[in-house]
Amino acid sequence: MIKEYFTDGLIGLAILLSLFRTDLVGINNLINYPEVQDIILGQSVAYLPASYNHILNSPRAFESSKHLDFNNEAFTAWYQNWNNIPLFRERNENEIEAFLVSSPQLVFDHSPSSSQTAFTIASVENNHVAELSTQNLPEESANDFSGVLNSTSVLNNSSEASAAVSEPVFVDSSVVLLNNPFPGCNLTKEDLDLIDVLWQQDVDLGVGKEVYDPNLRFELEKERENELIKHQEWQKSQLLVKEKAEREKHEQADKWLKEHFRRDGETGEWVRLQNGTSSSFDCPETDDSLTLEAALDFLSSNVDQTFLQNLEAPQESIANTCNGFLDTPFQTVQEEQIQTLLQQPQELLNQQDSLDENWNGIFDYLNNAANVLVEDPTSTLSQLGMDFNASEDLASGLDLGQEDTPQRDFLIQNVTLMQPVINSFIFFVTLFQFVYLEVLQAANEINSTLSSSNLNNSVNFELGSLSFLNSMSTMQSQEDLDIVDVQDLFRDMQGSDEVSLMDSNIAMNESMDAFTVLDDNLSQSVGSLGRISPYNDLNETFDGLEGATGGTNYSASQDNFNGRNSKVSRLSESSNDSGFAYQGGFSSSSSTSSSAGSPAGCHMGGNISTSSNDTEQDPHGTRAVTHHHVAHNHTYNTPPGQIPREVKKYAQKEPSRKGPQSRDQRRAEELKIPFTIDEIIESPVETFNEILMSHKLNEAQLALVRDIRRRGKNKVAAQNCRKRKVGVIVSLSDEMIDLQKARDRLVAERAEMEKETRKIKEKFGGLYTHIFQSLRDERGEPYDPNLYSLQQSSDGNVFLVPRNISVGSKYSNSSSASSSPTSSKDSVSSKKRKSFDE
DNA sequence: GTTCCCTGTCATCAC
DNA sequence: TGGTGATGACAGGGA
């Protein structure tokens, strides 16, 4: 009696342990008890559908020696106990023929296609044999799941076993186990004791002990609540500290503003106070250095203010902002308002016809943009400011007609501003970068569509803005970016009071020489302005005849001035090739004399004065400026950060070149050629022939004229050829950079894929081993891995097959194979066949 | 004096 | 056939 009781207890315990995937050998050698072995063997038979055939067909199916006697009193008792476990009881109550056992890590998804693990255990027909189909079984899931495998054959003792395959049950186990682990939980003391014993024996129950123990669960929840409260308190304290710091910064900025500016009661403009007098803030051309400083200081300070004040400022219309930045520093910008705002630079540049207005316009735009950006104080400015890729995206998104592109949405992204000063600077850089691209776009339109005469000032302004903004953009590449104070930065960049706005830009560019290797993305962003297609450039750039008039001058009236101009015009190409990105591309001012004093000035002046096409047809030195702009960024020949040699060469001294053209000029004078060299070279064929016909020339004169024309034409052609070559080189260089980036990206992806592959292989190996070791043959012994292997069929099922049989050949159709084994060999194989969910 | 780079020129080819 | 553009090669000049 005692023995029977003890044995029955062991049987029950074995069932439970089996359910929890516990090795009985390790627990008091329980495996040696015949009842336990019976249980295990029976379970192992569950894997072998073929072996059930005779059992299921017999009237006493479960009286087989390999199965539990379901009439066994001990089993009945323990089965009842087992049924007391609420999870199983619930399933039983619901007459579900399949159930799940899982750990909290498992998340069951209702979507069959989901990558999440989904276990289904469906009873098949009436044979009480569970067919386990595992799909995408992860390692950890398999661990939790394997314990269930051994118990599936005994799950259903009901005579009402469903004939139909149950619907797969998808359960979010984490929700079930954590929120409501066992609904209707009524664990008896015995249950808890048993669980406690299992727990103390370090038996993996699949879930935490708290799932079974309400008291423990309560304690854990309480502990969690305490941690949450502590965390909230810490967050509050951090917030208070931050607010305090911002308030101090705000007060400081306010104080600075009141000290340096006063507001004009009539115009509403903010005027900087300087030495007791006020200078108009909106007229930088009257005193460039002064107003620039004022503007920059003002803007920089207000940017900082904006960040601070924004937290508490009322929301107003953006339209007011256009009339005065300080009137309505902070607004709510609606989507359409943002669109309007983003279009302002073009409108401003298109509509305004003076430097003054342009400056005001761009400044207002900056203010507005600042307001837009600070509308959400948590916008991700740092991300934008430091990410040139974002700039590239932005630039591409700023293409006309794409105002709704997602790149503009960055303005309202969320971000945390932890360091006001740094972020202010980042914001400013970002802002300028953004405006810069906008202005580039506007400049491109202006330059390509409008005539030259009434836009000189405007374009001149663009030049300054672009150079300045270019420097600003370049600044982003500094490693010590985060320690740069905004105002100091501006002061450094603007240089001395004597230099003009343009020269300030030059000085800034010089100071930023180390950073003139601009980001490729930016280059690409403006590539459409002229650099992308060198051949297109040539159509605009070289349709003039700079070469014909270049070099040494043919007339005294053109002497030094034009000589220098022509030289500089040539070096304007060089300068474009030498790292001064974007300068030459947008320069078209007719004023050059002011910048001839310094190398940089000459460099800029050269850019301003002409490109090769700008010198066309100007024998009298009037040099009407066309607006075929060259945006080449040919950075070869001159290392980054170095002024091209030609800039120094031609800027510091008078051109003393005595080229062959000078010889031609002299000869033409000697032979009394009655027309100019330019006329000879640049005139069309018909005109040229008419000229020759109209003047009776001797052979020598004709030969000279033809030589001059040939050489002039060829000179221009050579220039074009060289320029084109440079363009090709630059294009190839860019392409190479792109390809290198692509290569790096692919290498990284490949490494990532290999890493993932290794991971998956490891998981697969572990899973394979685990599943294989879980399998038992009819004698309850594990299969020999040398004789058997697990193979997966095309439908996802996993089979245990002898080594010399492949699933593909024998089990390509799992359903047919399982239902009708045809040969003895197949029969044997089918006995080994098991299907798992994976 | 050498080297490098820019520029003009010539020769040649193709259209 | 002549004109023109493109391009390689060469030479001169300047730094």
pLDDT of A371 over the 70 cut:
no
pLDDT of A12 over the 80 cut:
no
Output the distance from A570 CA to B7 C1' rounded to whole Å. Answer: 10
pLDDT of A810 over the 70 cut:
no
User: In 10 A of CB A398, how many CB atoms?
Assistant: 20
Q: Which nucleotide is nearest to A689 (CA to C1')?
A: C3
Mean pLDDT of the region A512-531 = 34
Output the distance from A680 CA to C4 C1' rounded to whole Å. Answer: 15
CB proximity A720–strand B (7 Å threshold): no
pLDDT in tens, A722-764: 888 888 888 888 888 899 999 999 999 999 999 999 999 999 8
CB proximity A712–strand B (7 Å threshold): yes
Output the distance from A589 CA to C5 C1' rounded to whole Å. Answer: 31
CB proximity A642–strand B (7 Å threshold): no
Between A243 and A660, the more confident residue is A243
Residue A209 tokens read as 């002990």
With beta carbons less than 8 A apart as the criterion, state whether A178 and A224 touch: no
Query: What integer pLDDT is reported at residue A749 of this predicted model?
Result: 97
CB proximity A7–strand B (7 Å threshold): no
CB proximity A686–strand C (7 Å threshold): no
Mean pLDDT of the region A513-523 = 35
Query: What integer pLDDT is reported at residue A742 of this predicted model?
Result: 95
Q: Which residue is nearest to nucleotide C3 (CA to C1')?
A: A685
Which residues, 6+ apart, have CB-to-CB distance to A823 below 8 Å? none
Start-to-end Cα distance in chain A: 45
Tokens 């336990």 appear where? Answer: A36
Output the distance from A30 CA to B9 C1' rounded to whole Å. Answer: 104
CB proximity A172–strand B (7 Å threshold): no
CB proximity A646–strand B (7 Å threshold): yes
pLDDT in tens, A60-73: 433 333 344 444 55
CB proximity A688–strand C (7 Å threshold): yes
Residues 587-606/A with CB within 7 Å of nucleic chain B are none
Q: Which residue is nearest to nucleotide B9 (CA to C1')?
A: A711
CB proximity A483–strand B (7 Å threshold): no
- Tell me which long-range contacts A790-797 makes (C-beta under 8 A, separation of at least 24): A792/A838, A796/A133, A796/A134, A796/A135, A796/A837, A796/A838, A797/A133, A797/A835, A797/A836, A797/A838
* CA distance linking residue A838 with residue A795, whole number of Å: 10
Output the distance from A570 CA to B6 C1' rounded to whole Å. Answer: 10
Output the distance from A717 CA to C8 C1' rounded to whole Å. Answer: 13
Cα R_g (chain A), whole angstroms: 42
Nucleotides of C under 7 A from a protein CB: 3-9, 13-15
At residue A121, what are phi and psi to the nearest 5 degrees? Answer: -125, 105
pLDDT in tens, A579-596: 333 333 323 333 333 333
CB proximity A538–strand C (7 Å threshold): yes
Distances A546 to A565, A654, A666, A709, A727 between C-alpha atoms, Å: 10, 19, 19, 13, 19
Q: Which nucleotide is nearest to A650 (CA to C1')?
A: C14
Nucleotides of B under 7 A from a protein CB: 5-12
* CA distance linking residue A579 with residue A830, whole number of Å: 75
CA–centroid distance for A243 within its chain: 31
Query: Which DSSP category does A120 fall into?
Result: E
* Residue-wise burial string across A710-727, b where 16 or more C-beta atoms lie within 10 A, e elsewhere: ebbbebbeebbeebbebb
Output the distance from A664 CA to C2 C1' rounded to whole Å. Answer: 23
pLDDT in tens, A39-54: 444 443 333 333 333 3
* Residue-wise burial string across A341-368, b where 16 or more C-beta atoms lie within 10 A, e elsewhere: bbbbbbebbeebeebbbbbbbbbbbbbb
pLDDT in tens, A599-618: 333 333 333 333 333 333 33
Residues 529-548/A with CB within 7 Å of nucleic chain B are 547
Distances A707 to A566, A640, A660, A701, A711 between C-alpha atoms, Å: 21, 40, 11, 10, 6
Mean pLDDT of the region A343-368 = 40
Write the single-letter amino acid at A697: L
Residues 560-589/A with CB within 7 Å of nucleic chain B are 570-571, 573-574, 577
Query: What integer pLDDT is reported at residue A757 of this predicted model?
Result: 96
Residues 501-520/A with CB within 7 Å of nucleic chain B are none
Mean pLDDT of the region A609-638 = 33
CB proximity A710–strand B (7 Å threshold): yes
Output the distance from A738 CA to B9 C1' rounded to whole Å. Answer: 38
Query: What integer pLDDT is reported at residue A413 of this predicted model?
Result: 32
Which of A543, A417, A557, A429 shows the shortest CA–CA distance to A485? A429
Output the distance from A430 CA to C11 C1' rounded to whole Å. Answer: 51
CB proximity A344–strand B (7 Å threshold): no
State the alpha helices, DSSP H only, in A552-627: 559-576, 599-609
pLDDT of A235 over the 80 cut:
yes
Q: Which nucleotide is nearest to A648 (CA to C1')?
A: C15
Output the distance from A465 CA to B4 C1' rounded to whole Å. Answer: 35
Output the distance from A660 CA to C6 C1' rounded to whole Å. Answer: 21
* CA distance linking residue A580 with residue A493, whole number of Å: 16
pLDDT in tens, A424-482: 444 444 444 544 454 445 444 444 433 333 333 333 333 333 333 333 333 333 333 33
With beta carbons less than 8 A apart as the criterion, state whether A173 and A74 touch: no
Residues 292-311/A with CB within 7 Å of nucleic chain B are none
* CA distance linking residue A170 with residue A110, whole number of Å: 6
Output the distance from A633 CA to B9 C1' rounded to whole Å. Answer: 28
- Reduced to 3 states (helix: H, G, I; strand: E, B; else coil), residue A278 is strand
